Amino acid sequence: MRMFDRNGSIQDAVQFAFDAPLSYTLESTSSVEEVQARYKDRTIRVLIPMKVARQWISSDQVGISFAEPGGPSLIIEKDFRCLHRESGEEYEDADAFPNPLECSELELAAGQRTLEADADRQSINTTPV
């Protein structure tokens, strides 16, 4: 996200075969008013209005989704840290966002106490008179 914020675009490719790469770019631009996808010369370009891109970059909004009539439905999401990874693979998602499903033991314990308190209140409210 930092690179997208700084440069206004990011690009990568998937190599299906030696001579068959599929490139994709994500671009923030003032030339469109809604999210668009374009395909040409083995490249998918996703164009995002600057205002939408800025909101996405600076918020906890996870993704941007859109569908074009007769075209693709796409979801572009921020990359979260993997919850289950092999030892030594930590570097692979070092730039990823904290995973919302990650939490400390203290947060787990606090959540458990809240659930227990809610259950106690509910049993008090449902006890026949």
pLDDT of residue 89: 63
Does the residue 84 lie in any domain? no
Domain range holding 74? 2-78
Kindly state the tokens that stand for 43. Answer: 């490249």
Sheet of 36-40: strand order equals 9-15, 21-29, 43-49, 36-40
| Residue 95 domain flag | no
- pTM above the 0.85 mark? no
Q: For residue 56, with 0-12 CB atoms within 10 Å meaning exposed, 13-18 middle and 19 or more buried, which class applies?
A: buried
Q: Is 104 among the domain residues?
A: no
CB 77 within 8 A of CB 27: no
- Determine, yes or no, domain membership for 102: no
Residue 106 lies in a domain: no
> Does residue 110 lie in a domain region?
no
Res 118: pLDDT = 52
Domain assignment present for 15: yes
- Total structural domains within the chain: 1
- Give dist(CA 63, CA 126) in Å, integer: 40
Each residue of 4-47: pLDDT tens digit? 888 889 999 999 877 889 999 999 999 999 999 999 999 999 99
Phi, psi (rounded to 5 degrees) for 64:
-125, 125
20 in a structural domain: yes
